[in-house]
Structure 1
Amino acid sequence: MVQTSTELIAGILFLVALVLSAEYIIRKSMRLSEATGFSGTFVGLTVLSIGTSLPELFTNVVASIEILTHDLTPEIGSALAVGTSIGSDTFQQTIVLGIVALLGTVAVSKEFIRRDIPLMIGTSILVLLFALDGTLSRWNGAVLFFGYLIYLYILYQRQREENMKHQVCMDVREVLADVFGIMVGLLFLIISARELLFIAKDIVTTSGIGASFLGVFVVGAASALPELSTALTAVRKKQYGTSVGILIGSNITNPAFVTGLGAMISGYILPNAVIFADMPAKIITGFFVYLFLRNLRLSKKEGFSLIAIYFIYLVLRMRYFPLDVFT
């Protein structure tokens, strides 16, 4: 009992360290991105979406490496890594977007509705199709990862002609200081992600809790806190394009870049709960986001509905898929 309590406290501390390290890197990255002059939506879809996905990214990468070195079993490592990515996405689509709608304004452009949200849903559907055989292979991961790089390149090409209009000058010393700060933050991320995974493994093996459940609703939800913090900051500054761009961009980054990279390293073995509950739930919530945003705004009533959807999903998941079963 004492050991379990100690592990829980240590797990919470490393989870906090993971989130704080990501937020520190985001602040430094934002300062550097200001020197490029890119639009708020572009920064949200790229720099911030990748920055806020760093907890999920390092959880996946470290888990994949530990799977290869046999420090984590493929079943536990895969369930924790993919569960964290999906859990963060679903939390963002429902809780985070709902809170942003309740506290501020969610407004998007027609191009955003036509391009980015369908891409978010389509990426999730592609991951589900890949996973129907119970695995995400290295080949599947490569398709997702390089597809994401193509997406970034297309976004960059669309913004390149406009980015010179809003550039902010920075001193070379400031740039070097921010780059060094980012490197230090990345080091803390690696350490925190590794320790958190081993603590999660111990909790799974001693308590009987499903690794995917822990990944989706504990590590995944906590990993979405940088998105919540950054989105609320954007709302306070009335940067509405940035706030939504962060959330939708992160929901493209996680399945394509994060899960894709992890699968490229080791491949993943997925439990039924992830394939038949978590992935479909993420796709369904994505469709709700699309339907609610068709009029280019998200009302407070719709924001509350998204929050309610998350708790309905949580109850159904606990009721019908409490444990990890592999077929």
Structure 2
Amino acid sequence: MAVAAVALDLLVVAVAVAALWYGGLRFVDSASTLARRLGVSDLVIGLTVVGFGTSLPEFAVTVDAAVVGRADIAVANVVGSNLLNLGLVLGAVALFGSVAASRTLVRRDGGVVVASTVLGGLVCWDLTVTRLEAGGLFLAFLTYLLVVVVRDSGGEAKREAAGGAMLRTALTAVVGLALIVGGANLLVGAAADLARVAGLSEWVIGETVVAFGTSTPEFVASLAAARRGLGDVAAGNLLGSSVFNLLGVLGLAGLVVPLSVAPAAATSLVWLLGLSALAVVLLATGGGLSRGEGVPLVLVAVAKWVVDLV
């Protein structure tokens, strides 16, 4: 009976991840097309539309987990997703082909990633996220978003003709969003069941299985951008997504429901701070990431998984 229950939970996880992945791709493609037709630059698209769009699974899962009383899964998903984004995903994308990054992207947005990690760690240090603290995180996110849009919307991108495809593109984005929300709900329930059956804490499940599932859109979007020679979009997607997770996702989830944080968060946040600093330093050397520089990022992320699961 237990074996059948685990098999069913694994099947639900697979279906949920597939829904998150496909919904994320459809939403990002559609939203990017709409933004480009409005004359938005590739860098802004990477940092905002793609970066935040691919974080919608994290947002949906985190808020859903918080609402149903699974605070450990909620916070662990945010931390685990950033560990994957800046480690496994960024490193793997570099292994497939070097990732270029502009000086502006590294200095400003890389710096914001490190600063947001420090801020998130300070907020979680007392093992609670109050509505006031969550509001501060979300306000910091809105400030960052405003700076990015205002400073990088310099008109370097040309508007594309809209035509009758605009409505179809918008509808595709809505369908993608619906798949993300539905997949998130399935994933939270199945992950909690797996944690109970496997004897693992909800924090570990949230930081590994759930985070892996919600991070698939970032990997697909960044790899596709890198293969098309859009290095700023690839790197911008992962940096923007990481900022959105720590400030936007955690902030909004804490505004909806004040969160309790597992003691294991302290160690994970120290790992994340070290990985964030390493990723930014490597991006700053040589204007991006070479294949060789992707290796240590992947190794750090894998090592954290081993520590969590063994």
1:43 and 2:45 matched: yes
Match of 2:243 among 252, 256, 261: 252
Cα distance, 1:199 vs structure 2: 1.6
Cα distance, 1:240 vs structure 2: 0.9
The one-letter code sitting in structure 1 at the alignment partner of 2:35 is S
> Could you say which residue in structure 1 is the equivalent of 2:108?
115
Cα distance, 1:39 vs structure 2: 2.0
1:105 and 2:98 matched: yes
The one-letter code sitting in structure 1 at the alignment partner of 2:132 is W
Q: Please give the root-mean-square deviation of Cα atoms over the aligned residues, in Å.
A: 1.5
> Could you say which residue in structure 2 is the equivalent of 1:297?
288
Is the partner of 1:167 in helix, strand or coil? coil
Is the partner of 2:40 in helix, strand or coil? coil
> Could you say which residue in structure 2 is the equivalent of 1:323?
none
The one-letter code sitting in structure 1 at the alignment partner of 2:81 is S
> Could you say which residue in structure 2 is the equivalent of 1:168?
160
1:126 and 2:128 matched: no
> Could you say which residue in structure 1 is the equivalent of 2:255?
264
Can you list the C-alpha shifts for 1:214-237, whole angstroms capped at 9, x where unaligned?
Answer: 111111022211111111111121
Can you list the C-alpha shifts for 1:43-94, whole angstroms capped at 9, x where unaligned?
Answer: 1110001111011010012222223xxxxxxxxx111111112111111111
2:20, 2:217 within 8 Å by CA — same for their partners in 1?
no
Aligned mates of 1:150, 1:221 — CA distance in 2: 28
Can you list the C-alpha shifts for 1:276-301, whole angstroms capped at 9, x where unaligned?
Answer: 22111111101111221222222222
1:284 and 2:284 matched: no
The one-letter code sitting in structure 2 at the alignment partner of 1:153 is L
Aligned mates of 2:105, 2:177 — CA distance in 1: 31
TM-score, normalisation: structure 2: 0.94
With 309-318 and 45-54 compared, the bigger mean Cα shift is at 309-318
Aligned mates of 2:153, 2:196 — CA distance in 1: 50
Is the partner of 1:272 in helix, strand or coil? coil
Is the partner of 2:35 in helix, strand or coil? helix
2:24, 2:54 within 8 Å by CA — same for their partners in 1?
yes
> Could you say which residue in structure 2 is the equivalent of 1:70?
none
Cα distance, 1:132 vs structure 2: 1.0
2:46, 2:234 within 8 Å by CA — same for their partners in 1?
yes
Aligned mates of 1:196, 1:312 — CA distance in 2: 24
The one-letter code sitting in structure 1 at the alignment partner of 2:305 is L
Cα distance, 1:205 vs structure 2: 2.5
Q: How many residue pairs were aligned?
A: 307
The one-letter code sitting in structure 1 at the alignment partner of 2:41 is S
TM-score, normalisation: structure 1: 0.90
Aligned mates of 1:114, 1:240 — CA distance in 2: 16
The one-letter code sitting in structure 2 at the alignment partner of 1:9 is L
1:317 and 2:302 matched: no
1:277, 1:317 within 8 Å by CA — same for their partners in 2?
no
With 42-51 and 207-216 compared, the bigger mean Cα shift is at 207-216
1:144 and 2:137 matched: yes
Query: What are structure 1's unaligned runs of at least 5 residues?
Result: 68-76, 320-327
Written as runs of structure 1 = structure 2, the 5 A alignment for 1:172-187 is: 173-187=164-178
Aligned mates of 1:256, 1:19 — CA distance in 2: 23
> Could you say which residue in structure 2 is the equivalent of 1:243?
234
Cα distance, 1:113 vs structure 2: 2.2
The one-letter code sitting in structure 2 at the alignment partner of 1:214 is I
The one-letter code sitting in structure 2 at the alignment partner of 1:192 is G
Percent identity, aligned pairs only?
26
1:141, 1:260 within 8 Å by CA — same for their partners in 2?
yes
> Could you say which residue in structure 1 is the equivalent of 2:66?
64
